[in-house]
Chain A
Amino acid sequence: MNAYAIDSMVAAGPLRVANKRLEALLVARMRALLLMPAFGLVAVVALMRIASFGVLGAPDTPMSMEQRLLPPRGEITDRNGLPLARNYDAFALWYNPTAMKDGGSPLVHRPEEVAAKLAAIFPELDQADVAARLASGRAQYLRRRLLPEEANRVFDIGEPALELPAEKDRFYPQGSMAAHVLGYVKDGVGHLGMESVLNDRLTDSSLRGEPTAIALDLRVQGALEDELNKGMLSVNARGAAGVVLDVDTGEVIAMASLPAFDPNDIKTSDLMISDAEAKLGRTPRVFNSVTNQVYELGSTFKPLTVAAAIDAGIVRDLSLRYDAKPVKVAGRTLADSHNLGDTLNVPEALIHSSNTVTARVADKLGPERLRDTMRALGLAERPYIELPARGAPIWPGEKWSRVTTMTVSYGHGIAVTPLHLASAYAALVNGGVWRPATLYKVEPGKEPAGRRVFKEDTSARMRQLLRMIAVYGTGQSADAPGYRVGGKTGSAEKPSAGGYRKKLLVSTFAAAFPMDNPRYVVVAMLDEPKGTTASSFQRTAAWNAAPIVGKLIPRIGPLLDVRPDLSRDIDISDLRPLIRSDIK
């Protein structure tokens, strides 16, 4: 069709087009030919490289003794240089059917006998499967990560075909201790914890020769996990979380999320759970409940509210008595867990954990000032920590209604991680300066400037009040003699689809010690504790979380250079007369 159309066109046009077409075609053909030597050159380079490999072997890059000694991955130690993650030469069990080199049977004994001997060393091996694999005559790994004594016993079987090549492997000498902080390594890549955060540093050949120290103290971590675990088991709690924070530097001295996992032996069940379990709000074991799970932490928020009110000058006279009858607001009634009398002053309200008085104080303070204090304490954003798994808080937005202000004042309607709470408590007691939490070791004098949230004297007042809660109030079982512990309990009902569930609690104790010169914040949290004999059939924090802290502090105090001293304490003589003793 085109042919006829072109015939009728002006003669010069199609001729020029045809001419152009031929020219373009010729250029394209010539250049296509030029591509051939280009590809051929690449092929020749590849072939020459293969030939040089075949003739010379690997290009011999001279390796100094230093390079030979360089670990394949940098070690991680705690703040005192004790190993948390290191490399070791593991053995593998490799079946090499050609080892005998005589072309006959690859094994001296029958495959079934060899399999039986192997199964005697490694009980988890499937004997029939191993026998079938040996009989197949195909080279393969029978098992990875053998201990040296296991390797010796395999050697003693006397089968040349069972070879034991040494392989570099990552090893966590403390087992599951600090598993969530450390993470694990798979295929040479760090996952989850500091193995992931520090991956570049740990694999960098110029840096990995030196171990990397992190802020954790192994001994404190061990004590924290031990006490949390005991406390968790004694009240049949579903999980537990704890953190020990340096109040002046923000260093995380210990951080534990239970149940933990063993980074030496990651199981599929550690990493994922079924959909049915996920629907129930369960999380896999690798989930770090200190940094990633948000909870309504309940009454532990009351000291934050009171501090904001004192700081703003709303609470000036601590002897002033507030109405303690239930508050009716926006169609809801906010009440105390039990009747604490008609009126309470602020110290009494904290000691006995009164929702109503805290709510009335917050009401006087107003939503803006409470919101700004909470935000200054970092509770509106993900927690500051290096770990990749950081949970976003459930923050009630920018415009707080009256009822929101009142419920937030005692820790409901806002959900944060336990680490958020620990950082906020550090600011509460350290003179009023909030600093980000860190897992890196902070050299003396190098701590971040932080931001001032409370005045010095507000913080001093809060130290007195927190101490009084532990001496006279709900925190008495945390009051380890001589350690001047101060802290606040919190028992919050867990929310579910149909409102709060009365029987499922999150009980928390947030503490600091020693109160006359606070050095460390300790937060212990139990997820769904049950009433057991150990807790006198109570579910609230005073009976399960506070005792954990009471047992933990005497164990970690001496390790952290805090000596018990019964003759020293923070001066609370000005507040003591304000406490009536007739409230139960």
Chain B
Amino acid sequence: MNIAPATAIASDLPVRSGPRLTQRARLKIWWRELDHVLLGLIVLLMAVGCAAIAAASPAGADRLSSDTVTLDPLHFLWLHLRWLAVGIAAMLGLSMLSRESARRFAILLSLGMVAALILVPLIGTEVNGARRWLNLGFSFQPSEFLKPGFAITLAWIMSWKLKDPNMPVFGLVTGALALVVGLLMAQPNLGDAILFTGVWFVLVLLGGVSARQIAGLIAAGIGLLATAYMFYGNARNRIDSFFSGGTDYDQVDLAQRTLLAGGWDGVGFWVGRAKFRLPEAQTDYIFSVVGEEFGLIACAGIVLLFCAIVLRVLMRAASEENFFALLAASGLIAQLGGQAFINILVNLSLFPSKGMTLPLVSYGGSSTIAICCGFGLLLALTRRNPFLTRETAGLRNMLFDKEKDR
């Protein structure tokens, strides 16, 4: 052991001393510390999303038009641009927070949204048989805003074990998950419940549970899913219709027809017709609309883009020296990437329909802001002073030269 414990702990402290910095200098520091590759990928994803919503908006607008109201074909694009402008501001603002401020923000967000989730069954509005929305002038889903806060709060709880190894962190995070999942199932909202469970799983995995415990957790997860299948009507219907396969004219089938209508290179922008028959063209099934209008190549591009974002963040996390930041970033990306891949697999008929949107690509209304908050916190957590020297072994050393480190 050749490490001085004093420095190890000092590096976790925020820099508070030194001369007061000008606003300009702060911005410069923020920009230097920012993960530019990640920011670039996110901006690219936003641009892809705008194009996709422009393609899908006529279908959604056509569906919502009635004999008295005819919506502008680009109705959803204009709305999305408004939400996105707010979202980008939120993202950049949050990305400037220090790790401690980001953590505090996330904890407050989680507490507020759990309270809102408790209120949902009491004063929520019902859409399509599920009570998920709160109406505060504009309607929003508390579960969407809980997502970014949840991962960071759980990571914070897990990090307590560094201060005191006897802290029952595993029980605490599991309790937090049980509370959230219970509230979600009351709505009912199985899709998000699965997503939150996935985030929790990643955090306990990274938090250092033993291999045997992991195996036990996986077995319990399969058991829970089986229980949900048996006692939860909505899930059973969706899973049944997924495995019975090819029932004509259901959503999954219509999505596949739409996805395949364009071949490799697509029928062309605003020329697609299959999208008009698709319910939720601008939200859950936007990936299929991209397939019809821009082709399967564009679909593969979206998959690669999400894959690049996930790998970039995980790579950065794997060379992270701060336990909390490592867990928080991994949990956040598991949530964002998990949601994206579930949506993509649903569109490719590889996963039962879950009612989940494709982050930053689907039209999401207020949930776009929630996703932008998630990316903003991710940018804040992955910010790193490029001039600081490492205390522990770098990624390469850790992988190929582990013994030296010990």
Contact = CB atoms under 8 A, between A and B. Distances in A.
Interface of A: 1-3, 6-7, 14-15, 17-22, 24-33, 35-36, 39-40, 42-43, 45-47, 49-51, 53-54, 57-58, 61, 67, 70, 72, 94, 96-98, 138-141, 165, 167-168, 187-188, 203, 205, 267-269
Given A25-B323, A32-B206, A268-B68, 9 more contacts: A2-B9, A3-B9, A20-B165, A39-B307, A45-B350, A46-B344, A94-B273, A187-B63, A203-B250
B208 A39 contact: no
B5 interface: yes
A15 B392 contact: no
Given A6-B6, A49-B348, A139-B273, A15 B1 contact: yes
B348 A50 contact: yes
Q: Which size class do B's interface residues fall under? A: 35 or more
B17 to A, nearest CB: 12
Contacts, number: 175
Interface in B232-287: 244-250, 256-257, 259-260, 263-264, 268, 270-273, 276-277, 279
Interface string B54-80: 000010001100111100010000000
A15 B1 CA distance: 9
B5 A43 contact: no
A168 B271 CA distance: 21
A28 B327 contact: yes
A19 B303 CA distance: 40
Nearest to A94: B273
Given A96-B271, A141-B62, A54 B296 contact: yes
Contact of A15 (B5, B245, B277): B5
Contacts of A32: 206, 314, 317-318, 320, 326, 330
B279 A36 contact: no
B207 interface: yes
7 closest A-B pairs by beta carbon, nearest first, are A43-B307, A18-B5, A28-B206, A139-B271, A32-B318, A3-B10, A3-B6
Interface in B346-367: 348, 350
Contact of B296 (A53, A140, A203): A53
Contacts of B405: 26
A456 B163 CA distance: 83
Nearest to B307: A43
B246 A61 contact: yes
B162 A28 contact: no
B321 interface: yes
Q: Which of B7, B314, B327, B334 has the most CB of A within 10 A?
A: B314
Interface in B339-397: 341, 344-345, 348, 350, 392, 395
Contacts of A98: 268, 271
B323 A24 contact: yes
A43 B161 CA distance: 33
Contacts of B58: 140
A46 B207 contact: no
A403 B6 CA distance: 88
Contacts of B323: 21, 24-25, 28
